Amino acid sequence: MAEVQALVNELATKLRKRKVEGSRETARLTAELLRTVISQQRVTSAALVEVVRDVGQQLIAANPVELAVGNIVRRVLRIIRDGDLSPEVGGLTLVSQGDDGDIVEEDDKPFLLSDAISQTILHPPSLVAQLESKPNLVCHFEGKAADKTPSSWQFKHQIIEGVNDLIEDINTCHELIADQSLELIHQNEVILTLGHSRTVKKFLYAAKEKKRSFQVYVAEGAPKHLGHVLANELTEKHLQTTVIPDSSVFAMISRVNMVIVGVHAVMANGGVIAPVGMNMVALAAKRHAVPFVVVGGTHKLCPLFPNNPEVLLNDMRCPSELLSFGDFSDCMDFSVGSGAALLHVVNPAFDYVPPELVSLFVTEIGGYHPSYIYRLISDYYSADDIVLQQKPAS
């Protein structure tokens, strides 16, 4: 459909031109676009998976650094797969158990039961799907497909409802995370953070509103110095805030009770991709045994490992954020004729913090240790959707 493809191209262009940045905004726009794509399709579940996968590949290619795009695509694919738990599995049909206690009706194809069981073991439903499934379902064999399968519009309505719930979770994750602030922030504590994070800001606001008295050190987060923006917002709420340069983090960390930071993405091994300078803060916290707490929504949970070829760990920003052209124009060797620069300015956007430096993840569904990330991944993502890129034809 031309209208849907135009919407896909529009979002891909915004991602490519960096007009949409940040995990939350990227995740929300991606989920809303996929909802529109699904609502315009009149296909079976298998074809719907391919359509969503194709749209996801286009969006990921536009800006591979925004891992939230792939996360939301995989979440929607899991919703489709869970919604496809129709009463029929091959020749195996699920029916409600009757009052007479009859459970299984014999058929000429007894191997279908083992096939269905093997498929369930290889592709188990998510915890959410298990909780929402109807009880008292038993096995019933039939030689042909049953007529009790849900209609296509009911199936699509169920998928759209699941995507709506996902969008609602993205929009409200900050408030749910902030509700847990009293469990971590105690009276007269000293908190350190780096840069600017909306989740961290809401987290600190909630503790202040609940009459917690504490002090906040904000590392400025060069080269963008977004820490100054966060410090101004905290002082407006009458929080005791002190801005420190990034180079002073190690000197101040011994006075700190806890480090609370926001991140760009959480990897499958429990490591995080965070704004540049975060690894330095994590190392200082580890050296002085200060808890390093990461706050973020589950839409930042990426089922890929840092060494996966699909993961682009870093994004090189423009050198002008660090130095103006006049400061290093004299380093250009124009006499040779090639105009090659003798000075190379590297301005990475992100740091990678390994899982052994992270103490706790606080999400909208609770707090978890880095070693538990694998269980969250199995709940939210299907093993069939970990790699979204199509394999080249042999």
Same domain for 218 and 155, yes or no, is no
User: Per-residue pLDDT tens for 108-120?
Assistant: 334 343 444 444 4
Is pLDDT larger for residue 173 or for residue 134? 173
Confidence of residue 356 (pLDDT cuts 50, 70, 90): very high
Q: What is the rounded average pLDDT of the residues 155-162? A: 89
48-57, 99-108, 307-316 — which is least confidently predicted? 99-108
Confidence of residue 122 (pLDDT cuts 50, 70, 90): very low
282-286, 310-314, 357-361 — which is least confidently predicted? 310-314
Q: Is the pLDDT of residue 262 over 60?
A: yes
Same domain for 136 and 207, yes or no, is no
Q: What is the pLDDT of residue 29?
A: 96
Q: Is the pLDDT of residue 85 over 60?
A: no
Same domain for 31 and 79, yes or no, is yes
Enclosing domain of residue 97: 92-141
Same domain for 223 and 358, yes or no, is yes
Q: What is the pLDDT of residue 126?
A: 57
Q: Is the pLDDT of residue 197 over 50?
A: yes
Question: Which CATH number fits the domain that encloses residue 307?
Answer: 3.40.50.10470
Q: Quick one: 292 exposed, middle or buried, by C-beta within 10 A (0-12, 13-18, 19+)? A: buried
Q: What is the rounded average pLDDT of the residues 153-159? A: 84
Q: Is the pLDDT of residue 71 over 70?
A: yes
Q: What is the rounded average pLDDT of the residues 241-258? A: 95
What is the total count of domains within the chain? 3
Same domain for 190 and 219, yes or no, is yes
User: Per-residue pLDDT tens for 202-213?
Assistant: 999 999 999 999
Same domain for 297 and 241, yes or no, is yes
Residue 392 lies in a domain: no
Q: What is the pLDDT of residue 118?
A: 42
Same domain for 205 and 164, yes or no, is no
Confidence of residue 339 (pLDDT cuts 50, 70, 90): low
Residue 321 lies in a domain: no
Spatial contact of 73 and 34, defined as CB atoms under 8 Å apart: yes
Q: Is the pLDDT of residue 351 over 60?
A: yes
Same domain for 32 and 106, yes or no, is no
Question: Which CATH number fits the domain that encloses residue 37?
Answer: 1.20.120.420
